Amino acid sequence: MPSVSEILATMDYGPAPEGNAPVLAWLEANAGGFGHFINGRFTKPAGARLFTVSNPATGKPLARVSLGAAADIDAAVKAARKAFPAWAKLAGHDRARCLYALARLIQKRERFLAVLETMDNGKPIRESRDIDVPLAARHFYHHAGWAELIADEFPGYRPLGVCGQIIPWNFPLLMLAWKIAPALAAGNTVVLKPAEFTPLSALAFAELCREAGLPDGVVNIVTGDGATGAALVQHPDVGKIAFTGSTEVGRLIRKATAGTEKKLSLELGGKSPFIVHEDADLDAAVEGVVDAIWFNQGQVCCAGSRILVQEGIAPKFLAKLKRRMETLRVGDPLDKSVDMGAIVDPVQLTRISELVETGKREGGMLLQASCGLPETGNWFAPSLFTDVEPSSTVMDVEIFGPVAALMSFRTPEEAVQIANHTRYGLSATVWSENINLALDTAARVKAGVVWINSTNLFDAAAGFGGYRESGFGREGGREGMYEYLVPGWEAGLRPEAAAKRAPLSALPPDASEPGGIDRTAKLYIGGKQARPDGGYSYSVYGAKGKAIGQAGLGNRKDIRNAVEAAAKASAWSAATAHNRAQVIYYIAENLAPRAAEFAARLVAMGQGKAEAKAEVDAAIARIFWYAAQADKYDGRVHATKSRHVTLAMNEPWGVMGLVCPDEMPLLGFVSLVMPAIAMGNRVVAVPSPRQPLAATDLYQVFDTSDVPGGVINIVTGERDELAKTLADHDDVACVWYCGSRQGAAAVEAASAGNLKATWVSHGRRRDWLSRDQGQGHDYLRRAVQVKNIWIPYGE
């Protein structure tokens, strides 16, 4: 045995095992198998439908767990649905007491839960003890507060009903807390399916629900595999699906829920950049790499797996990083001095190994820590690739293991370009001692979360979620609460019967009709009127079936041209909110003197004079309102549980597709376009196909109001055909659709391509004159995505 002086000289670590006797006793007590937790009690395990859960560090079985079938999901959903009315009507204070009780119980059982999590998942005990379990308790505490305040902070909002939640295996208990806490705070009931590899902490949590006195059916937990999750996604009585997992599965869920009216939030994969500028504290940045990629064996969706180092410091940084890699200890996760534990399952270990071999074949130089690995279990050494390109597999594909890739950049501009060279956008890390450079980089990186001089920080008060193919929706904070609520006005709308309409015809109108066609409206693309690519126009009919004009019959090429024009108008998104407000005010000012002209157009299309005047007046007022909001609807500073200024910044989506309603063709068009451009988006708008002239008459107003070319583009034609083209387009980041249920379903299904966010009407008609239904913060909130930037302060 070495002496103390020898240990101080070598700094060798001895074993520091964590006792697991209580967990073993609990597992032994359930040796017959775990049932599902449905309606406040555990079901009896069905002997033939059990699967084995193993310890990743040893490969030995831990427990047998029920394999959920469609019937189990149905029973859980029925229990949740039955419990929903009473839970939703419960006073916020009473729901808060339940959430508070759960938080206290997690704290009381924190050592038991930490050990169970480590044995089930393979992560080091100090991570589950110091990060996962305390954060899980924090989420229930935080959301107990939202439950208490919900009537004041979210007036006019309602819970959704039964929420189906599917969580991954990398943070089993923490992901459970991220999803269950806000759902319960909002007044929903839950059916949760934990990951097949790691269901045990969810079953332990079910016991806490009974101990906390949660009403039967409010929380239900059904264990199983992918088929179990699919049954939950497809259940008709589920009002929302919240999923955390791979982008591939997220895409399948988006398609499966299309047209079902289920609300959806997806937190998916990532390939996050870790940017080190030349003025960074290199020693701190090296420790940041350890936390970014070797935390939880790299099995983290926001892992900083793409390390970008400025050219002048790259050799020095790499030398420091290689030395630090050699000090990492890999081994028994229950050893408190271990840095990295086991990979969750042999399947995941095989995937990591195959991707690493691909990286080597492509010419990457693989560096691995020389630490010894245990002979049994699932292990992979901390690894780093150099000599890679932005398009290399290891720089492009999410490995989900302890493997990073490093390359250099010359200028901050190049760093941002490489960082954004990915289909993902979950998180990013920026290291610099220059706060101006750090914030500029953070603002330009396309990611939902950005950490400055820190990494992998989480808190219940700050939203977490991604851009692009990393999904949509946020978990945590105020923005996360909106995912489990719906505006009362929207929930109260009822779908109308689908109207059968003849296709728009390019044939000329009946020549025997009295009167003549007074004009042909072209498309409006890039600030210019343009003839449709197909060369066809269709007749627009007004009162008594009289042809009053023609409009271009746009096609997919016209949408392509409009999206390109919108993409080029990126300066609008970078403009100050004040400047955007001035342009929108100018639109209102220039429309007001022509109010009588626009009202006459509406009368020609069949409206009464009073009705037409009211619509034009409302449109002008609405433009003024969004002009006023352009520099008022701003972000927040979240009160996170650390020494950080955590900025929740509202950022525009970029290019939005807006498909407008038939009713109130001028006001409906204005009500969609104005909030979008007020928040800095550029839009491709499809006006009412039956009454497009109210929108096309706005060309001259836009031309005389200093609206930059490409900010507003208008393509007329068949609504659903153009809507699907917009939803298919990878350069469109968000689509709003007002139209039929069938059209809404097609938009949602097509949006799975690049996982764009959608807001569709499902055939419900809004009252566009209503300030609740036709304008408001719901429109502004849906016109932005929130980026949370963590800025440390103090010494």
Q: What is the mean pLDDT of residues 415-442?
A: 96
Region of poorest pLDDT, from 405-419, 440-454, 534-548, 572-586: 534-548
Beta partners for residue 87, in sequence order: none
> Which pair of tokens denotes residue 269?
């994969």
The distance from CA 138 to its chain's CA centroid, rounded to whole angstroms, is 21
Beta strand 547-552 pairing with 537-541: antiparallel
Pair 281, 795: CB distance under 8 Å: no
| Average pLDDT value for residue range 7-12 | 66
- At 458-501, the pLDDT tens digits run 999 999 999 999 999 999 999 999 999 999 999 888 877 666 77
567 and 731 Cβ atoms separated by less than 8 Å:
yes
Over residues 609-625, the pLDDT tens digits come to 999 999 999 999 999 99
Q: Residue 677: what pLDDT? A: 98
Distance separating alpha carbons of residues 382 and 329, to the nearest angstrom? 9
Residue 7 pLDDT grade (very low, low, confident, very high; cuts 50, 70, 90): low
Amino acid identity, position 641: K
Q: What is the DSSP string of 68-100?
A: --HHHHHHHHHHHHHHHHHHHHS-HHHHHHHHH
Please compute the mean of the pLDDT values over residues 712-733 and round it to a whole number: 97
pLDDT (tens digit per residue) in 92-128: 999 999 999 999 999 999 999 999 999 999 999 999 9
Closest CA to 112 of 124, 129, 98: 129
pLDDT at residue 12 in the model? 67
| Active site members | 267, 301
- Provide the pLDDT for residue 548: 86
pLDDT band at 42; cut points 50, 70, 90: very high
What pLDDT does residue 549 have? Answer: 87
pLDDT at 767 over 80: yes
How confident is the model at residue 3, as a pLDDT? Answer: 74
| Mean pLDDT on 723-739 | 97
Report the chain's terminal Cα–Cα distance, integer Å: 40
- pLDDT tens digits, 639-679: 998 889 999 999 999 999 999 999 999 999 999 999 999 99
Tokens (6 digits) for 631: 């520099």
Which pLDDT score, from 0 to 100, does residue 605 have?
85
Interval 747-752 mean pLDDT: 97
Say if residue 390 is exposed, middle or buried (CB neighbours under 10 Å; 0-12, 13-18, 19+): middle
Q: What is the pLDDT of residue 283?
A: 96
Q: Kindly tell me if the per-residue pLDDT of 545 is higher than 80.
A: no
Average pLDDT value for the chain: 94
Contacts (Cβ under 8 Å, ≥6 apart) of 795: none
Around Cβ 704, how many Cβ atoms within 10 Å?
12
Residue 11 confidence (pLDDT): 62
* Contact by Cβ (8 Å): 200, 53: yes
**Cβ contact 370:324 at 8 Å:** no
Non-local CB neighbours of 610 within 8 Å, separated by 6+ positions: none
Helical spans, DSSP H, in 90-170 = 92-108, 110-121, 125-127, 133-153
Q: Quick one: pLDDT band at residue 284, thresholds 50, 70, 90?
A: very high
How many whole angstroms separate alpha carbon 274 and alpha carbon 277?
10
| CA 407 – CA 307 distance, rounded (Å) | 6
| 3 state DSSP class of 162 | strand
- In single-letter form, the type of residue at position 109 comes to R
pLDDT at 2 over 90: no
Strand ranges (E), 161-229: 162-166, 189-193, 219-221
Convert the pLDDT of each residue in 672-705 to its tens digit.
999 999 999 999 999 999 999 999 999 999 999 9
Place of tokens 């290689």: 322
Average pLDDT over residues 718-732: 96
The DSSP symbol for 131 reads I
Over 90: is that where the pLDDT of 519 sits? no
Tokens of 616: 């034009």
Alpha carbons 234 and 365: distance in angstroms, whole number? 45
Whole-number percent of the chain with pLDDT over 70: 97
- Rg of the chain, C-alpha, whole Å: 28
Find residue 267's DSSP bridge partners: 244, 471
Residue 404 CB partners (closer than 8 Å, separation 6+): 274, 289, 292, 293, 298, 304, 305, 306, 307, 383, 384, 385
pLDDT at 259 exceeding the cut of 90: yes
Q: Which pLDDT score, from 0 to 100, does residue 181 have?
A: 98
Instruction: Give the pair of three-digit tokens for residue 439.
Output: 């914030």
H helix runs in 541-636, sequence order: 556-568, 571-574, 577-591, 595-604, 609-629
Per-residue model confidence as pLDDT tens digits over 590-607: 999 999 999 999 998 888
Q: What is the dihedral of CA 731, 734, 739, 744, to 10 degrees?
A: 90
Q: Determine the average pLDDT of the residues in 749-760.
A: 96
Number of C-beta neighbours around residue 755 at 10 A:
22
Q: Is pLDDT at 794 greater than 80 in this prediction?
A: no
User: What is the model's pLDDT at position 94?
Assistant: 97
Alpha carbon distance 339, 344 (integer Å): 16
On the question of pLDDT at 737 being above 70, the answer is: yes
Q: Which element (helix H / strand E) includes 254?
A: helix 247-257
- pLDDT of amino acid 606: 85
The greatest distance separating any two alpha carbons of the chain, rounded to the nearest whole angstrom, comes to 109
Query: What mean pLDDT do residues 273-283 have?
Result: 97
Q: Give 699-743 as a 3 state SS string.
A: HHHHHCCCCCCCCEEECCCCHHHHHHHHHHCCCCCEEEECCCHHH
C-alpha distances in angstroms, 608 versus 527, 592, 602, 613, 660? 32, 19, 8, 9, 21
Question: Does residue 416 register a pLDDT over 80?
Answer: yes
The model's pLDDT over 303-336, given as tens digits with 9 standing for 90+, comes to 999 999 999 999 999 999 999 999 999 999 999 9
Separation of alpha carbons 152 and 253, rounded Å: 34
